[in-house]
Amino acid sequence: MVNTKSLVPDGLEQALVTDLYQLTMAAAYHRHAMSGRASFELFVRRLPARRGFLVAAGLEQAVHYLEHLRFAPRDLDYLRSLPGLRSQPAAFFDALASLKFTGDLEAVPEGTAVFPNEPILRVTAPLIEAQIVETFLLAAVNFQTLIATKAARVAGAAQGRPCYDFGLRRAHGPGAGHLAARASFIGGCAGTSNVWAARELGIPCVGTMAHAWVMAHAEEAEAFRRFAAVFPDGTTLLIDTYDTLAGARLAAAIPGVAAVRLDSGDLLALSKEVRRILDAAGARPVKIVASGDLNEYKIASLLAAGAPIDAFGVGTELVTSADAPALGGVYKLVAQEVGGQWVDRAKDSPDKATYPGRKQVYRRFDGGSYRGDTIGSAEESLPGEALLAPVMRGGRRLCDPPDLRAVQERARQDVSRLPSGVRSTGEPVKYPVAFSETLDARRRALKAGRA
C-alpha cells in the first residue's frame, strides 16, 4: 500500500543520492581489491537537547533503497566525468554497473524507543556495498527518527487529545513534508493535512478552511454560512480572521458546525471565552481546535492551565523539530573481514570514539516498565529482550513492511513503558544504558593493540 518508491527523488537514480567520498573510497577499495565483508552500525552519539529518548523511524525507506540500489548508465557517465574519478580504470565502472546490495541488514523495528550508542541498524556486506549506502541510510533514519521523536513528545503533551500534522508549508521542501507526515504518524499524530502523504501512507487526511475563505467574502457571517452549506455533515470554521470572540458568536449560530479553530492570539484566554460562548449558545458538541506555532511545551502549558481545547494542529515546530532540528546519527565501521577472519574496528578521535564489534541491545522489562538496556556483543546472550532482528539476508527483505498503524502502536506502547522521568519534555531523567563487560574488554584490547 505504501508507495516508498516515491519517497526518494527518483527511483532509478537513487544510487547517486550519496556523498562523493563514498564513491572515491569505493574506487580505492576496488583498486586495492578490498573485497572482504564489513559491518557498519548506525547509531546516535548523544540525545538532542531536552530529549530523554528517541523513536526509531525511517527503516522502510532504508530497506527500499537497499533493495533497489543500481547505477544507471547515465549515472556512470556522470561519475566518469568527475575530476576525482576520471582517471579510474574501466574495471571500477564495470563493477559499479553490476553492483547490487547483496548483504544483510539487522535493525530495531520502526517505532522502537532507542538511546545513544544503541545500533538502530547494522549492515554487513562486501566493503564497497556497505560503504556507499552510508549517506542514504543516514538521511533516511536521522530525519524520520527526529520527527517521530518530536511527535511522541507532542502527543504525550496532548494527553490523548488528537494532534495533526499541519506542517507541509514549513517543512524542508515537499519531500521532507511527506516524510514528516509519515514519522509524525508513527510518533502518535492522528493524521495530516498533507493530501499526498495521506494517500500514499493510508492515514487520515484532515483540514477544512483557511483565512482566505473568510477574506474572500465581504462579511464573516456570510463566509461561515456559505461554507457550512457546502459541508452539511459537519465542518470546522476558522474564527480568528478578524475578531475571535465575534467569530465564535457567529459560528455558534450556524447549524452543523462540528468545531471552531483558533489560530492566533492568547489561546488559553480565547479558548475559555470561546467555550463559554459556544456553551451559552447551546452549541455544546462544537469542539475547539487550536493551531498556530504550537509545540509540546505550549500544549502542556495550555492544558495545565485548563484550556478547553479538544485537538491540536501542529505545523512548523513538529515537521522541523524546531528546538532540535537535526539528529546526529552516524554510521561506523565496527568489524571487517581480513584474510577470511573478522577483526574489530573502532574510531578513536576526541569525543568521537566508537566501540568495536557487532552489537546487540538487551532491554529489561519488569513491572510494566523498561528498567534499562545493555549494549552487548552480538555473540553474547544477556538478560532482556534483544532489539535488533534480521531484516534482509543476501540483499532480500525477509518480510513485508508492517502496517503503519502497527508501527504507531508499537511506538505508543514502547514510550508508555519508559520510566516517566525519561518521558519528561523538560529536563528528562537519563535512561540507564550500559556496555557489557565483553564489549569493554574488546575496546581496551583494540586500543592496546594500536598503541
Site for its own copies in 87-146 (CB under 8 A): 87-88, 127, 131, 134-136, 138-140, 142-144
Q: Which 261-280 positions form the footprint of its own copies (CB under 8 A)?
A: 263-265
Binding status of residue 332 toward its own copies by CB under 8 A:
yes
C-alpha cell at 444: 581496551
Which parts of 218-237 interact with its own copies (CB under 8 A)?
Answer: 226-227, 229-233, 235
To the nearest whole angstrom, how small is the minimum distance from the Cβ of residue 383 to its own copies? 31
Q: Which of 4, 14, 184, 360 binds its own copies (CB under 8 A)?
A: 14
Of the pair 9, 390, the CB lying nearest its own copies is at 9
Nearest to 73 by CA among 130, 133, 16: 16
For 343, counting Cβ atoms within 10 Å of its Cβ (0-12 exposed, 13-18 middle, 19+ buried), the class is: middle
Tell the smallest beta-carbon distance from residue 430 to its own copies (Å): 23
Among 349, 368, 399, 448, binds its own copies (CB under 8 A): 349
CA-to-CA dists, residue 206 to 98, 190, 197, angstroms? 45, 9, 11
Q: How far is the CB of 72 from its own copies (least distance, A)?
A: 11
CA distance 344 to 337: 9
The smaller minimum CB distance to its own copies, of residues 243 and 385, is found at: 243
| Shortest reach from residue 227's CB to its own copies, in Å | 5
Q: For 9, how many CA atoms within 13 A lie in the half-sphere containing its CB?
A: 9
Residue keyed to cell 548483504: 103
- Our finding on whether 297 is near its own copies (CB under 8 A) is no
Binding of its own copies by 181 (CB under 8 A): no
Taking the least distance from each CB to its own copies, the nearer of 174 and 421 is 174
C-beta of 181 vs 422, nearer to its own copies: 181
Would you count residue 84 as binding its own copies (CB under 8 A)? Answer: yes
Q: Between the CA of residue 424 and those of 50, 114, 345, 407, 414, what are the distances in Å?
A: 8, 15, 36, 22, 15
213 binds its own copies, rule: CB under 8 A = yes
Is the distance from CB of 187 to CB of 411 less than 8 angstroms?
A: yes
C-alpha–C-alpha distance, residues 196 and 177, integer Å: 10
Q: Which of residues 43-82 bind its own copies (CB under 8 A)?
A: 78-79, 82
What pairing do the DSSP bridges indicate for beta strands 163-165 and 311-314?
Answer: parallel
Contact call for residue 190 and its own copies (CB under 8 A): no
- Contact between 178 and 200 (Cβ < 8 Å): yes
- State which residue, 115 or 166, has the beta carbon closest to its own copies: 166
Please, which residues have CB within 8 angstroms of residue 241's CB and are 6 or more apart in sequence? 211, 214, 215, 220, 247
Q: What's the grid cell of residue 275?
A: 467555550
- For residue 47, the minimal CB distance to its own copies (Å) is 15
**What x-and-dash track marks residues 19-48 binding its own copies by CB under 8 A?**
xxxxxxx-xxx-xx-x---x-x--------
- Four-residue CA torsion sign, 208, 212, 217, 218: positive
- Whole-number minimum distance, CB 294 to its own copies, in Å? 13
Q: Which listed range, 109-117, 149-157, 191-199, 368-376, lies at the site for its own copies (CB under 8 A)?
A: 191-199
